[in-house]
Amino acid sequence: RQVPEVNPGEVLIKMNSVAICATDVIYWQFGKLADYVIKKPMVLGHEGSGVIQKVGCGVTNVKTGDKVAIEPGVPRDTDDYVKAGRYNLSPTIYFCSSPPDDGLMCRFFVHKADYVYKLPDCVSLEEAALAEPLSVGIHACRRGRVKLGCKVFICGAGKELDQCRLTLSDDRFHSDFSCERLEKAKQMGASATIKVEKCPTCPIEFAQKVKTALGCSGAEVTLECTGAEFCVQAGIYATRSGGTVVLVGIGPASVNIPVSNAALRELDIRGVLRYTNTWPMALAMMSTKKVDVKPMITHRFPLEQATEGFETSKKLAPCRKSNPGPHPHISTFKYNLSFPPSNPGVKKYKKPVKNS
């Protein structure tokens, strides 16, 4: 592909780092995720950063040479959702690497200037790529109304919610079936962790373990990051009456949940779709060292070795297609793709996509 043209209000970004998300791996392997189905070749990647190469007419927030983090969702229309400040819900939004919209794993990318954010001096381009998963954590915490001192149970130790320390909750508690991820969660500030056995049977028993570990009648907020049926059930039981369960993970299209238990204890069950207005906070948190995303960067691959990056990601964080049973099915470690700056190719990298 040619280097794209820049229209008024847009910027041309020379890409630097793109992290591989579990959703990228799922699209690569299966060609679809929930209702999103890939029908034509699509560039993957939505967690990225780069350097401004050119600015279009009327752009004032950044200039050539600025290092920026990229917010991948840009609303196309000024619809009711956008007017209400909830542009993540706009049905016509452009979203990088959500079919059919191309993502960031390319050399040059054109984006609306309003959705790129100049990096503070002390935030590197690699770290800036992780402003995206951090944003998922920030938005989930906002949806769950997590406050300072809140008892929070995080089900699934992927990257987004490891970063929940961001939102001030000092009592965080993780469960997962991977020791390695739990170790990382601890490193990143979880106050305790519980390992889920490979085939857990009773969500009530499991919830009891969570309560015992929290030392109270249950979490005020549960951030459920797996989407797996067992975990949603356990999350509900582990939440104290009047508390909130935030559904962050995407699992099977429908699962059984103990709905009357939730209703009669006045639990709020709240959904999450991506984020709105989180980049300024994410970058501020990184620059003030409230959160350190560096431990999330475990591998680096040049763009030419993207396939290897995906293979590595898949191996270390296997994902399943559907009906994942009781195990969390989206793992979310980050593998950074660093693009060699000395190689100014003009072609967009196109990831081979298998349609299922």
Determine, following the binding rule CB under 5 A, whether residue 12 of this chain makes contact with Zn ion: no
* Cβ distance to Zn ion smaller for residue 131 or 238: 131
Task: Write the DSSP string, 185-238.
Answer: HHHTT-SEEEEPPSS---HHHHHHHHHHHHTSSSEEEEEE-S--HHHHHHHHHH
Determine, following the binding rule CB under 5 A, whether residue 282 of this chain makes contact with Zn ion: no
Determine, following the binding rule CB under 5 A, whether residue 317 of this chain makes contact with Zn ion: no
* Cβ distance to Zn ion smaller for residue 226 or 239: 226
Q: How many residues of this chain bind Zn ion (CB under 5 A)?
A: 1
* Cβ distance to Zn ion smaller for residue 225 or 228: 225
Choose the stretch contacting Zn ion; rule: CB under 5 A; options: 16-24, 142-150, 172-180, 342-350.
Answer: 16-24
* Cβ distance to Zn ion smaller for residue 21 or 138: 21
Residue, CB closest to Zn ion: 21
* Cβ distance to Zn ion smaller for residue 249 or 324: 249
Residue closest to 108 by CA, chosen among 7, 21, 24, 5: 5
Choose the stretch contacting Zn ion; rule: CB under 5 A; options: 21-29, 63-71, 187-195, 253-261.
Answer: 21-29
CB 36 within 8 A of CB 352: no
Determine, following the binding rule CB under 5 A, whether residue 113 of this chain makes contact with Zn ion: no
Determine, following the binding rule CB under 5 A, whether residue 13 of this chain makes contact with Zn ion: no
Determine, following the binding rule CB under 5 A, whether residue 337 of this chain makes contact with Zn ion: no
* Cβ distance to Zn ion smaller for residue 21 or 157: 21
Determine, following the binding rule CB under 5 A, whether residue 3 of this chain makes contact with Zn ion: no
Structure tokens that stand for 202 in this block: 């009773």
As a whole number of angstroms, the distance between CA 11 and CA 51 comes to 10
Choose the stretch contacting Zn ion; rule: CB under 5 A; options: 4-12, 19-27, 195-203, 255-263.
Answer: 19-27
Q: Provide the 10 A C-beta neighbour count for residue 277.
A: 15
Helix (H, G, I), strand (E, B), or coil: what is residue 309? helix
Angle formed at CA 319 by CA 97 and CA 301, multiple of 5 degrees: 60
As a whole number of angstroms, the distance between CA 277 and CA 164 comes to 16
Determine, following the binding rule CB under 5 A, whether residue 21 of this chain makes contact with Zn ion: yes
What minimum distance in Å lies between the beta carbon of 133 and Zn ion? 6
Choose the stretch contacting Zn ion; rule: CB under 5 A; options: 13-21, 142-150, 172-180, 240-248.
Answer: 13-21
Determine, following the binding rule CB under 5 A, whether residue 44 of this chain makes contact with Zn ion: no
Is the Cα torsion angle 229, 234, 239, 241 positive or negative in sign? positive
Residue 119, judged by CB atoms within 10 A of its CB (0-12, 13-18, 19+), counts as: buried
- Torsion angle defined by CA atoms of residues 74, 79, 83 and 87, in that order, rounded to the nearest 10 degrees: -30
Contact residues toward Zn ion (CB under 5 A) are 21
